Structure 1
Amino acid sequence: VPYVGIGALACGGLASFCWFLFIAPDLTWRILAMNFAFGGISLLVAAELRPVRNNGPTEKILFVLSLLSGVNFFVRTLIVVIAHGPFTSYDGFYGSSYWTTALLSHALLSLLIALCLFSAAALDVLKALKTETFTDPLSGLLNRRGFEERGMLLLRHCASARFPVALVLADLDHFKALNDVHGHGAGDRVIADFAAKLRSAAGARGVAGRIGGEEFAVLLPLSDLAAARLFAEAVRTVYSAGHVDGLPQGTKVTASFGVAARSG
């Protein structure tokens, strides 16, 4: 939140309003001071939303509404003041074109922004619920359901584009024995640590998931069998050479891998 910018515009607008109210009384300048301050805040909000406007329809609508709000405060006010002003007193002011357009435009924009924010909040809740449904809480990877859904989508895309795609399966070795000796807390840390390395290796392109207790899978688009084998060997080497926090020094945890690929 741009607190400094909002504070400067709010304080500047309030100071100007007070100046034209107590020191140099002028109704027209009070209107301009108030509207320009609000317009500046609206454009500042639009500037903050600009980098995320392409993240989805809600962000884009909020960005457009912020721009419209700024234009409304600046352009509408200037047009009405130039066409029907200046306003010297409150006589007939509440029946003027300025007051009528202000009420209508502010009410409409406020309602649209409120509805958009309500929709954004509802979409965030739905997104969070969907994430919980498809994400394994311990590893942070997709669960079996999420992996199968995302994987099927990726397989269809690769098939339609005739891109190769590879599957890497991983299984932590002797995991039951590790749980029995060191406890389930240590087992959980092993799973979380392995999942973090797998997710880092898969990057944004690959689809990684935990499909069983100690079983993991990664779907790699644009990868043939050789690339999948290199990926598996890299993760296997890095993981077996590392140490998991919470386990006694010298305790090594390893994993076994299998690879398959589709080229046609």
Structure 2
Amino acid sequence: MAPTVRVHAPSGQRALIITSLAVPLTGWTVHAVSLHRKLNKARRDPLTGLLGRDGYTAKAQQITGRYGDSSLVVIVDLDHFKEINDGPGGHAAGDRVLAVTAQRLTAWAGSRGAVGRLGGDEFAVTVRIGAARRELRLAQLATLLSQPVDVDGGDLVDVAASIGAASPDVLGTTDLAQLQRAADAAMYAGKHTGRAVLADRSHATVPSINGRRDGRPGTASLGAAA
């Protein structure tokens, strides 16, 4: 609530003074609302603890901008996730798989990587990995994400993930949207194969896959376990 200001002056002057006082207060209110919205967007996903889309994008852009050709953008999509949600364990099992997947991605990326949940069962990672180690590190990620998940005190659920990756030196750009689009296309090219696919320039020309553009899901929401 704005403070009350008593002004002893003729009515015309008083109106001018009050208007002048209101301008900075209004400006601060607009700034506060804008800041609040930005903080809301940057909040972490409540289920997995990963960065939301805006927070992930900001950190990922820092990595690609700083490390250029030594950076790698990865898109991960869990296979047959609906079957887990519809299985005996229900959504609780699905939520557990999402949380464990987030933990595994965070461990793989390390403290300096950016890991985000883009929506539903889709994740994105941006890390610094040089060309000489890419294939090995991506193979390690595929192995890590294929490990069964304990969803209820010893009940194991088999999981699998499709993985696509893109790097600036191969695609000739550090633009995150283009890298994500290419990684997304590569991920779909290797769907259900159990191996990670590194995008080439042909993947960068795919405008949309399943209604998704620029590596972004078209309908999934951040808060739901799809």
User: Aligning the two structures, in what range does the TM-score lie when normalised by the shorter sequence?
Assistant: 0.5 to 0.7
Distance 1:131 1:222, change over 3 A: farther
Contact 2:148 2:156 in 1 (8 A): no
* Residue of structure 2 in register with 1:61 after alignment: none
Residue 247 of structure 1 and its aligned partner are, at CA, apart by 8.0
Distance 1:223 1:143, change over 3 A: farther
Contact 1:201 1:235 in 2 (8 A): yes
Q: Work out the CA distance in 1 between the residues paired with 2:106 and 2:96.
A: 15
Give 1:28-39 correspondences, 5 Å limit.
Answer: none
Give 1:72-91 correspondences, 5 Å limit.
Answer: none
Letter in 2 for 1:146: G
User: Secondary structure of the equivalent of 2:73?
Assistant: strand
Q: Would you say 1:212 and 2:134 are equivalent positions? A: no
Residue 130 of structure 1 and its aligned partner are, at CA, apart by 3.8
Residue 243 of structure 1 and its aligned partner are, at CA, apart by 2.8
Runs of 5+ consecutive residues of structure 1 not aligned to the other structure: 1-125
Letter in 1 for 2:64: L
Q: Work out the CA distance in 2 between the residues paired with 1:155 and 1:241.
A: 29
Q: Work out the CA distance in 2 between the residues paired with 1:230 and 1:212.
A: 27
* Residue of structure 2 in register with 1:30 after alignment: none
* Residue of structure 2 in register with 1:243 after alignment: 149
Residue 222 of structure 1 and its aligned partner are, at CA, apart by 4.1
Q: Work out the CA distance in 2 between the residues paired with 1:190 and 1:262.
A: 31
Q: Would you say 1:134 and 2:40 are equivalent positions? A: no
Q: Would you say 1:194 and 2:101 are equivalent positions? A: yes
Distance 1:142 1:223, change over 3 A: farther
Q: Work out the CA distance in 2 between the residues paired with 1:205 and 1:149.
A: 13
Letter in 1 for 2:141: V
Give 1:110-121 correspondences, 5 Å limit.
Answer: none
Distance 1:176 1:208, change over 3 A: same
Q: Work out the CA distance in 2 between the residues paired with 1:189 and 1:235.
A: 19
Q: Work out the CA distance in 2 between the residues paired with 1:227 and 1:207.
A: 18
Q: Work out the CA distance in 2 between the residues paired with 1:153 and 1:222.
A: 14
Give 1:51-130 correspondences, 5 Å limit.
Answer: 130=39
Residue 205 of structure 1 and its aligned partner are, at CA, apart by 2.2
Runs of 5+ consecutive residues of structure 2 not aligned to the other structure: 1-34, 173-226
Contact 1:167 1:228 in 2 (8 A): no
* Residue of structure 1 in register with 2:59 after alignment: 150
Contact 1:240 1:255 in 2 (8 A): yes
Contact 1:165 1:261 in 2 (8 A): yes
Residue 232 of structure 1 and its aligned partner are, at CA, apart by 2.7
Name the structure where helix makes up a greater proportion of residues. 1
Letter in 1 for 2:58: E
Q: Work out the CA distance in 2 between the residues paired with 1:153 and 1:239.
A: 26
Q: Work out the CA distance in 1 between the residues paired with 2:40 and 2:107.
A: 19
Q: Decide which of 119, 135, 142 is 1:229's aligned counterpart.
A: 135
Q: Decide which of 194, 203, 225 is 2:110's aligned counterpart.
A: 203
User: Secondary structure of the equivalent of 1:241?
Assistant: coil
* Residue of structure 1 in register with 2:91 after alignment: 184
Name the structure where strand makes up a greater proportion of residues. 2
Residue 250 of structure 1 and its aligned partner are, at CA, apart by 5.2
Residue 233 of structure 1 and its aligned partner are, at CA, apart by 1.9
Q: Work out the CA distance in 2 between the residues paired with 1:247 and 1:175.
A: 20
Q: Would you say 1:167 and 2:73 are equivalent positions? A: yes
